[in-house]
């Protein structure tokens, strides 16, 4: 039996179970052991190779998870070929199904991701010194909310019937709030009703609920990148391996998404409008490709529409809910960007069946969102105050966006390009190829201006030559001043040859 002739190196740093596991998988890959062959028993192998039975068991366990072995009780352990190897080698599907990969690989890769993320986070401390012009905040400008608005909403919310707040209320959220949210997506009430809406603690909690659901349903998780990292982090926090699909200004690159066509059901997260961090909208061609992928693969689309009501230019776009089958779509949204993060009112809209499943998970997590906060949200949405607030907010951010575009045009040297957002808080800048936004971050901090480097917004910390600028929370005068300082840092950076000609970003935005 070839397995009994394996050579294990007792002086090597690699543990014996790993050596055994590697030798068996190599033997299968090379054809030295054929699928269907029966392996010697654990006791026989342990004896023949002079290792403990637990060494053999550990190797068998890993090989079983990776799809190399099948244990049949009472009959023995049989060799098989892992699924991905049996498929057409042209389908470009390698690595698509990480469940079949070595668990040690997943662990090592997760550790590496977390390690790099921590190092990048430690950079942020430098930018928190007083007096900095920070183009980094993703929160609304406090000056937009009218004075005393919370007190007014509280008077309205609590004026008559306090019994509503005595108990927990409906686990899905207050009916009036769910109805108001549903109406904002579908005024006709034909497709979306209160039954499709789950009120959550910010849209962040909606993602955590989806992460739990996906674990139970064994969904593969795919995120477009760059993205708001709270999303992949919510999936990663409970042990998901998150696959990434890179995007450019038009949206996720379809060739990257189409790697995931192997019959394994996936959840795909994207931010279709006024993207964080790129500021752009999904193109019609990319949308069509994503919808086709979702139909043919039964993929669940999670569309983050958190900036939906902050469009200050061009016609409103349909919500993803209007474009797809609700059985394969979830939309998340919240009052955080359009009004106040502090209310922690968010929502998830999906099929009534999915919502009922997620309610069970939410009940186990925190029973319901605080009804007091929901009461304020009902008062806001049901009065005219919200639409007035939105009108003011859109104009406010449009002026700031224009100030930033104008300053970039005036001060940035040739070779630097940027996106032009039609709403939201953010835009994306690209340095000439080979220059690093992390070096620029450090040069910027020296001059008193802070940016968000591209690698902070990718699961694998790529997009080194790009960075995000957020204009939402910076006064017009400071925007102009800050961009001028940043441009002087960019000129200093470009005065030397590129850090690494191999560095890449997300393309040219001229
Ligand atoms: C694109 C995007 N989605 C979701 C969130 C989470 O927001 P919240 O939980 O406050 O609704 C954020 C926050 O920055 C975000 O930028």
Instruction: Convert the pLDDT of each residue in 259-301 to its tens digit.
Output: 999 889 999 999 999 999 999 999 999 999 999 999 999 999 9
Cα 69 to Cα 16: distance, rounded to the nearest angstrom: 18
Better-predicted residue by pLDDT, 495 or 80: 495
Q: What are phi and psi of 71, to 5 degrees?
A: -95, 125
pLDDT of residue 179: 98
Q: Tokens for 471? A: 């204009």
Give 155: exposed, middle or buried? Use CB within 10 Å, 0-12, 13-18, 19+: exposed
Cα 428 to Cα 468: distance, rounded to the nearest angstrom: 5
Cα 52 to Cα 43: distance, rounded to the nearest angstrom: 9
Q: What are phi and psi of 361, to 5 degrees?
A: -70, -40
DSSP per-residue codes, 206-269 = HHHHHHHHHHHHTPEEEEEES--THHHHHHHHTT--EEEEEEETTEE-HHHHTT--SS--EEEE
Kindly provide the b/e burial profile for residues 195-231, where b requires at least 16 CB atoms within 10 angstroms of the residue's own CB: ebbbbbbbbbbbbbbbbbbbeeeebbbbbbbbbbbeb
Average pLDDT over residues 24-30: 85
Chain segment 169-225, per-residue pLDDT in tens: 899 999 999 999 999 999 999 999 999 999 999 999 999 999 999 999 999 999 999
Give this prediction's pTM.
Answer: 0.81
- Closest by CA position to 17, among listed 68, 53, 58: 58
Q: Do the Cβ atoms of 380 and 177 come closer than 8 Å?
A: no
Chain segment 320-371, per-residue pLDDT in tens: 999 999 999 999 999 999 999 999 999 999 999 999 999 999 999 999 999 9
Average pLDDT, the chain: 91
Cα 119 to Cα 321: distance, rounded to the nearest angstrom: 38
Cβ count near 363 (within 10 Å): 13
Supply angle C-alpha 151, 154, 157, rounded to 5: 155
211 Cβ inside 6 Å of ligand 1: no
**Ligand 1 atom having least distance to the Cα of 138:** 14
Q: How far does CA 344 lie from the centroid of its chain?
A: 19
CA of 434 to the centre of ligand 1 (A): 31
229 Cβ inside 6 Å of ligand 1: no
Give the three-state DSSP class for 92.
Answer: coil
CA of 203 to the centre of ligand 1 (A): 6
Average pLDDT over residues 37-65: 89
Cα 260 to Cα 507: distance, rounded to the nearest angstrom: 24
- Closest by CA position to 433, among listed 506, 503, 508: 503
334 Cβ inside 6 Å of ligand 1: yes
How far lies 55's CA from each of 182, 390, 432, in Å?
57, 64, 52
Look at the chain and count its residues. Answer: 510
Helices (H) and strands (E) in the chain, counts: 18, 17
Give the three-state DSSP class for 452.
Answer: strand
CA of 336 to the centre of ligand 1 (A): 7
The protein residue with its alpha carbon nearest to ligand 1, atom 6, reads 204
Confidence of residue 316 (pLDDT cuts 50, 70, 90): very high
pLDDT of residue 92: 37
pLDDT of residue 91: 37
E runs forming strands in 59-187? 69-72, 76-79, 133-134
pLDDT of residue 248: 95
Cα 159 to Cα 76: distance, rounded to the nearest angstrom: 72
Tell me the best of 140, 225, 306 to mutate to test the pocket of ligand 1, counting ligand atoms within 8 Å of each CB and taking the most. 306
Q: What are phi and psi of 465, to 5 degrees?
A: -90, 0
């Amino acid at each position: 039996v070839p397995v009994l002739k394996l050579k294990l190196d007792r002086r090597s740093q690699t543990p014996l179970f790993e050596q055994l596991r590697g030798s068996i998988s190599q033997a299968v890959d090379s054809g030295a052991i054929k699928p269907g062959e029966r392996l010697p028993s654990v006791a026989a192998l342990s004896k023949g190779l002079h290792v403990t039975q637990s060494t053999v068991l550990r190797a068998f366990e890993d090989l079983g998870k990776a799809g190399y072995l099948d244990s049949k009780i009472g009959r023995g352990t049989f060799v098989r070929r892992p699924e991905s190897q049996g498929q057409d080698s042209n389908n470009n599907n390698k690595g698509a199904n990480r469940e079949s990969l070595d668990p040690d690989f997943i662990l090592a890769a997760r550790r590496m991701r977390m390690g790099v993320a921590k190092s990048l986070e430690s950079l942020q401390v430098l930018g928190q010194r007083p007096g900095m012009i920070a183009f980094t905040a993703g929160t609304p400008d406090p000056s937009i909310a009218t004075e005393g608005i919370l007190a007014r909403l509280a008077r309205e919310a609590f004026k008559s019937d306090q019994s509503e707040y005595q108990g927990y209320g409906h686990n899905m959220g207050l009916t009036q709030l769910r109805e108001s949210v549903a109406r904002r997506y579908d005024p006709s009430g034909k497709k979306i009703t209160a039954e499709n809406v789950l009120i959550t603690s910010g849209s962040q909690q909606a993602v955590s609920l989806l992460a739990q659901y996906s674990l139970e349903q064994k969904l593969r998780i795919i995120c477009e990148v760059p993205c708001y990292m709270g999303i992949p982090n919510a999936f990663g926090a409970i042990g998901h391996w998150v696959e990434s699909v890179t995007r450019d200004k038009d949206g996720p690159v379809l060739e990257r998404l189409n790697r995931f066509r192997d019959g394994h059901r996936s959840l795909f997260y994207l931010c279709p409008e006024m993207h964080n961090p790129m500021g752009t909208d999904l193109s019609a061609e990319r949308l069509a490709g994503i919808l086709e992928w979702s139909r043919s693969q039964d993929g669940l689309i999670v569309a983050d529409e958190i900036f939906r009501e902050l469009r200050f230019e061009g016609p409103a776009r349909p919500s993803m809910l209007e474009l797809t089958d609700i059985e394969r779509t979830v939309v998340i949204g919240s009052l955080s960007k359009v009004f106040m993060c502090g209310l922690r009112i968010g929502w998830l809209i999906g099929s009534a069946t999915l919502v009922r499943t997620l309610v069970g998970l939410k009940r186990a997590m925190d029973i319901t969102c605080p009804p007091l906060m929901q009461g304020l949200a009902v008062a806001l949405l049901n009065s005219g105050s919200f639409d007035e607030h939105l009108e003011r907010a859109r104009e406010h951010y449009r002026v700031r966006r224009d100030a930033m575009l104008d300053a970039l045009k005036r001060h940035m040297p040739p070779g630097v390009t940027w996106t032009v957002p039609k709403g939201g808080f953010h835009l994306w800048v690209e340095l000439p190829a080979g220059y690093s936004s992390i070096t620029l971050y450090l040069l910027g901090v020296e001059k008193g201006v802070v940016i968000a480097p591209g690698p902070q917004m990718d699961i694998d910390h790529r997009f080194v030559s790009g960075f995000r600028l957020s204009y939402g929370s910076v006064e017009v005068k400071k925007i102009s001043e800050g961009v001028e300082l940043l441009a002087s840092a960019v000129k200093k950076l470009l005065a030397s040859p590129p850090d690494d000609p191999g560095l890449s970003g997300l393309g040219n935005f001229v």
